[in-house]
Homo-oligomer: A and B are copies of this chain.
Amino acid sequence: MIIVMQRHAPKEDIERVINEIEKNEGLKPMPLYGTERTVIAVIGDERKLDEHHVRSLPSVANVMAVLQPYKLASRETKHESTVIKVKNATIGGKEIALMIGPCAVETEEQTRLCAQAAKKVGAKILRGGAFKPRTNPYAFEGLKEDGLKILRAIGDEFDMAVVTEVMDLRTIDMVHKYTDIFQIGTRNMQNFDLLKEIGKSNKPVLLKRGMSSTIKEFLLAAEYILANGNHEVILCERGIRTFEPDTRNTLALDTVPLIKELSHLPIIVDPSHATGKKRLVAPMSKAAIAAGADGLMIDIHPNPKEALCDGDQALLPEELFVMMEEVKKIAEAVGRSI
């Protein structure tokens, strides 16, 4: 940590900061008396100091962290990439992980048709929402436990793992009974109590990036889960909020290589929710794999025009087949397999 003092900071304020640092075992202050300002460097693991607290000390002009605030999620802590295995699927390895299925589980028949199509293109994980977070209180909220049952049954029928969203602390146990992977949605990325509880569970977690979260906040949210004992976290880039009105969100694919550098955790991409437009799903899926993503999460629907939720972003099975042919070629071009 580098602490920049204000110009003409009185000597006692400088000493105050120095004392504050020395209170922490293992930390050593290194004051530099410059021509314009005094700067105090902190030698040691600066994460012991609360940046906000230091910033509020008298005559402190600026505080700059040198280390990332997360530890367990950091590649500096764990150099080799994390590979997660769930049933037949592998996430974070050479194989591209595919999580495909309906946005919301609506009927057994709809879910079966989706699973069939997903399986056909090589997906080993079936996605499907039973609890749907809805901006509008009057919109369809999912089939809840009935949806979980359908998802589990169809997953078993096709020998696929399943992933589904958990929104509410009170339903963790229920969801746990049916799912193979917990999904934390974009609106809950900073629901810290939920993160902590999921961190105590023994199933992998797909953590979606908050739609206006920085990469640092995203990795800190993962850190919450890791710090509670669950080391199987799969990150998911799903678009961020920008000024552009012509897409639902802006898919920030530069997040993929950047996170690969900062963290050992696998990262997949959800182009369906990011763009909200089915015509953009294929190009952005290809781009995601080219950028180094470990997998894709794709919405499909046997009949998107009847979908109860986000139909405009769901691909038809035939569209999925065409797209996956192209995605496969990209995967090969970057040395990955599907």
Question: Does residue A62 face the partner (Cβ distance < 8 Å to B)?
Answer: yes
Q: How far is the CA of A32 from the CA of B58 in the complex (A)?
A: 24
Residues of A288-338 contacting chain B, CB below 8 A: 288-292, 304-305, 307-312, 314, 326, 329-330, 332-334
Question: Does residue A52 face the partner (Cβ distance < 8 Å to B)?
Answer: yes
Q: Are A191 and B192 in contact (CB under 8 A)?
A: no
What residues on B are CB-neighbors of A146 within 8 Å? none
Interface string of A133-166 (1 = CB under 8 A from B): 1111111100000000000000000000000000
Stretch at the interface among A93-101, A108-116, A215-223: A215-223
Q: How far is the CA of A288 from the CA of B253 in the complex (A)?
A: 10
What residues on B are CB-neighbors of A242 within 8 Å? 240, 242-243, 250, 252
A133 interface neighbour in B32, B190, B244, B279, Cβ under 8 Å: B190
Chain B nearest Cβ from A240, distance in angstroms = 6
Q: Are A136 and B288 in contact (CB under 8 A)?
A: no
A252 interface neighbour in B66, B67, B193, B250, Cβ under 8 Å: B250
Interface string of A237-257 (1 = CB under 8 A from B): 000111111110011111011
Can you list 7 A-B pairs, Cβ within 8 angstroms, ordered by A?
A: A30-B32, A50-B308, A170-B170, A251-B253, A254-B275, A283-B291, A284-B291
What residues on B are CB-neighbors of A34 within 8 Å? 41, 43-44
Q: Are B44 and A66 in contact (CB under 8 A)?
A: no
Q: Are B240 and A305 in contact (CB under 8 A)?
A: no
Question: Does residue A2 face the partner (Cβ distance < 8 Å to B)?
Answer: yes
Query: Which residues in A have some Cβ–Cβ distance to B below 8 Å?
Result: 2, 4, 7, 30, 32, 34-37, 39, 41, 43-45, 47, 50, 52-53, 55-58, 62, 64, 66-67, 69-70, 76, 133-140, 167-170, 187-188, 190-193, 211-212, 214-217, 220, 223-224, 227, 240-247, 250-254, 256-258, 261, 274-275, 279-280, 283-284, 286-292, 304-305, 307-312, 314, 326, 329-330, 332-334
In the complex formed, the residue of B with least CB distance to A226 is B137
A289 interface neighbour in B58, B168, B169, B290, Cβ under 8 Å: B290
Chain B nearest Cβ from A153, distance in angstroms = 25
